[in-house]
Amino acid sequence: MRIGTWTLPHPVCVAPMAGVTDRPYRRLCKALGAAYAVSEMAASNPALWDSVKTSRRLDHQGEPDPIAVQIAGADPDMLAEAAVHNIRKGARIIDINMGCPVKKVCHVASGSALLRDEPLVARILNRVVAACEPLGVPVTLKTRTGWDRDSRNAVRIARLAEDCGIAALTLHGRTRCDLYTGEAEYETLRAVRQEIHIPLIANGDITTPEKARWVLDYTGADAIMIGRAAQGRPWIFREMAHYLAHGTHLPPPTYGELSRHLLGHLEDHYTFYGEHTGVRSARKHIGWYLADLPGADALLADIMTVEDTAGQSARLRRWLEDRPADAPVVPFSTTLH
């Protein structure tokens, strides 16, 4: 699959997730087999570019190409300016968010709220593509199937995106009003695939290698994007890529591998966020890594009260050292967190 001049080595990608897909997490996922990763949603408002939160989201130091930055907003000129700003900071692909369902985004007519205004969608796409094209940077779009089940417009939006010069479309198989409930609408993705020629990336409820194979076959999508199923399981990308290529399963990671990946992730996380924010924001990642493991309940209860990074990592290291390094880490539930 190609996005502009970039060719992905296989079809398994990381979905952008606010508060999750920061630079340390993206680097880890790419190291563990993700073909492509999109940043957390970055604000298009120039007044926010120097804020700590946005500055972190625009930090790509040490991240392998292609660096893809997702921008959000509702003003075409502001989004175009944000795209150029991010290209100057290293972005090689610009992704436009029209899929975020959270209230604080939709209340400012951004994210998936834009799906209710197709003329505005066209203005945004045309303006951003026009700004990026002279710089040789492709623009992609991530969206949903519609605002609600009575107003699904994914096919029209997809055609519009192709007509405006969008290089690839990622479609989450739910409406905005569905949030993350119910089952993904793969039939809608299939209908979209039949109407457009640009690459289509399927997103939503893809939790196992077998499900990845089925979704690609059923929808005709060119790639899949994994979100919640990768939380605490960053090796899911190599597992899915291997299964799609060979039809066989890789062995589960060992406790030695878990220790190396988890502690390495935390070290990068602490460095990126600093002591105060690092120890607190790491708790969710630790919870995802250990939630399904036998004997982890007491450790997790303890970890959530630790107030310093050294103490947090030391407790984890001791717990992991008590497990045989070559023992497989099982079972891993596919339940979404």
| Contact yes or no for 50/16 (Cβ under 8 A) | no
Which of 143, 167, 168 has its CA nearest to residue 156? 143
- The answer to whether 106 is a known catalytic residue is no
Q: Give me the DSSP letters along 180-213.
A: T-S---HHHHHHHHTT--S-EEEESS--SHHHHH
Copy the structure tokens of residue 128.
């951003």
Query: What 3-state class would DSSP assign to 246?
Result: helix
Residues 6+ away with beta carbon under 8 Å from 84: 131, 132, 135
Residue 219 in contact with residue 193, Cβ under 8 Å? yes
User: Scanning the structure block, which residue is given the tokens 């957390």?
Assistant: 40
Tokens of 45: 């408002």
- Which candidate in 100, 106, 132, 164 is catalytic? 100
Q: Which of 9, 68, 12 is nearest to 233 (CA)?
A: 12
- Is residue 150 packed enough to be buried (19+ CB in 10 Å), middle (13-18) or exposed (0-12)? exposed
| Residues involved in catalysis | 100
